[in-house]
A and B are shown apart, each in its own frame.
Chain A
């Protein structure tokens, strides 16, 4: 059986810079993480996965279907959705409206339905609002449904982005630094939430994360990127001990010393 999500030989260049160099990546279920120093190509890889960039070489398949050359909205409709590193909410819309937009790919209504308001329209619309408030409930924003997204505190905005992505009923959720700017406590809560999502909805999650404690705690599997190449992959504690990983993070000379030592 092939993996749920499978990418191999991904290469992406910007001019002379090779941002991603022949990276293979596959995942099936649970929470996986991609870590790596700044500029390692993590977000570029996400952008290739979600159709924002077309890879120069390589193949991405999801449930056996190729994603290369599809538009981002088509990829979302197939069941791969993402959040952004720098929050990109629809700032002047309310929280619940943001989630409703996330459901766009699942709305089976046309222009004519919107104009004539057949009974079906009301049923579908009511269902959307119902599910939207459920999703807000899930991320703990139920009582802020009518708040304008721009007015929400930072942590809430991150969670709203998560709810919005969940609106598209993804089978694979890509989260780009979901805990950035959060306190350790908030990050812990969010990870608990992700765990529950995996358990309840059976979705696969792929994280880009800088918060090492979070990554090591929550991930089933960790992949390390450096200079656009995959340098290590495995269980969190395997990766932690990997010499190349320590070198990538702390530099060559410190590799021989304790990984915690200041360099």
Chain B
């Protein structure tokens, strides 16, 4: 009871604070933490679902009216959550270390970018861009194209494991990026490093503004991805993947067809990235190969590992933490350091204003992120929300897989 009140109060209080101080990063972080608190605290399931639902469906868009950037952050979190969930299937469940995951994101993004912009006229003559409504069709096209790419990557690496697989997938990710960079000739498919713009945006019902529209679209896709993830995990397919991760040879000896199971894992993981790629390209209006660097793959992998390998809430929380760190906390940190520097604050008798440019605070961002990752790996290597084995009620009656106690 007291927890329920605390949960409601935490959300209400933090939202009020955001309303009062719409520019404060700390206050927005408090809002996010209140949601995390609602998720982990022991309250009735209906209350938890209700609170999270209200927060995500109503409060977050309202916050977006006070400060549009927060909604942008939330949308980015959603995009990366879907990516992390996709990679979670490949790395967390099936145990196939994929360091080129962002390639599938790129494939999805380019599949809409090319035909959703006037760029395709250079290739096919005329008739482009496609009507904005096609965007919704291309969500599925992007999914399919990415899934096929996943299978194509999977086929040659079937026999590889662990480090070897990681190296090949890393190379694959780079191949896709380099292709995007260089396919402006002989046929101008990707417009090279200049990128493609303007990419068409989908028509939205009820005249919703684009920022809110994309937020809801991303939220919907993440919800579907979570559902798909859970269903796969709780089926014979998910069990086969996990068995493969634990012991490939034994899994095969127990009747798991390795080739099919691996290709399926690659295709499923890739398809989520493909869908989000389509959304991403429409949201950004402009894409170029710079959005799909190796660092992005590593970022998504960091989300999965930070959150807890093979864990769905872990992937979502990991995506949130990393995205918020990158977009807000580290930015805020370097801004703060800059302010100190400009104000000429002295530390231990040394004026910060005299810092050489090599030690620009903005350059610490990556380092701080790295330190956080290292500290996590030392003190909590299993991640924030490690995957828990579900304990099932095996009663003497025939109702077998029911109660799911975390």
B231 to chain A, nearest CB (A): 6
Q: Report the interface size class on chain B.
A: 20 to 34
Say yes or no: B235 contacts A76, CB within 8 Å: no
Judged by DSSP, the binding face of B is helix
> B255-289: contact bitstring with A at CB < 8 Å (1 yes, 0 no)?
11110000010000000000000000000000000
A82 to B254, CA, bound (A): 8
A117 to B233, CA, bound (A): 13
Judged by DSSP, the binding face of A is helix
The residues in B between 373 and 406 inclusive whose CB is less than 8 angstroms from any CB of A are 389, 391-392, 394, 398-401
8 closest A-B pairs by CB: A105-B255, A129-B400, A114-B235, A90-B246, A76-B255, A88-B250, A101-B243, A107-B236
> Given A114-B231, A126-B401, A129-B401, is A92 in contact with B252 using a C-beta cutoff of 8 Å?
no
In this assembly, does A111 line the interface, its C-beta being within 8 Å of a C-beta of chain B? yes
B351 to chain A, nearest CB (A): 54
Instruction: Return chain B residues, CB-CB under 8 Å to A165.
Output: 254
> Given A73-B257, A129-B392, A129-B394, is A88 in contact with B235 using a C-beta cutoff of 8 Å?
no
A106 to B243, CA, bound (A): 16
In this assembly, does A164 line the interface, its C-beta being within 8 Å of a C-beta of chain B? yes
Instruction: Return chain A residues, CB-CB under 8 Å to B394.
Output: 96, 129, 133, 142, 145-146
In this assembly, does B240 line the interface, its C-beta being within 8 Å of a C-beta of chain A? yes
Say yes or no: B392 contacts A104, CB within 8 Å: no
B318 to chain A, nearest CB (A): 19
A75 to chain B, nearest CB (A): 9
In this assembly, does B247 line the interface, its C-beta being within 8 Å of a C-beta of chain A? yes
A89 to B240, CA, bound (A): 13
> B229-240: contact bitstring with A at CB < 8 Å (1 yes, 0 no)?
001100111111
Say yes or no: B251 contacts A126, CB within 8 Å: no
In this assembly, does A130 line the interface, its C-beta being within 8 Å of a C-beta of chain B? yes
Q: Which residue of B lies closest to A148 (CB)?
A: B389
A91 to B246, CA, bound (A): 7
In this assembly, does B253 line the interface, its C-beta being within 8 Å of a C-beta of chain A? yes
Q: Which residue of A lies closest to B243 (CB)?
A: A101
Instruction: Return chain B residues, CB-CB under 8 Å to A128.
Output: 236
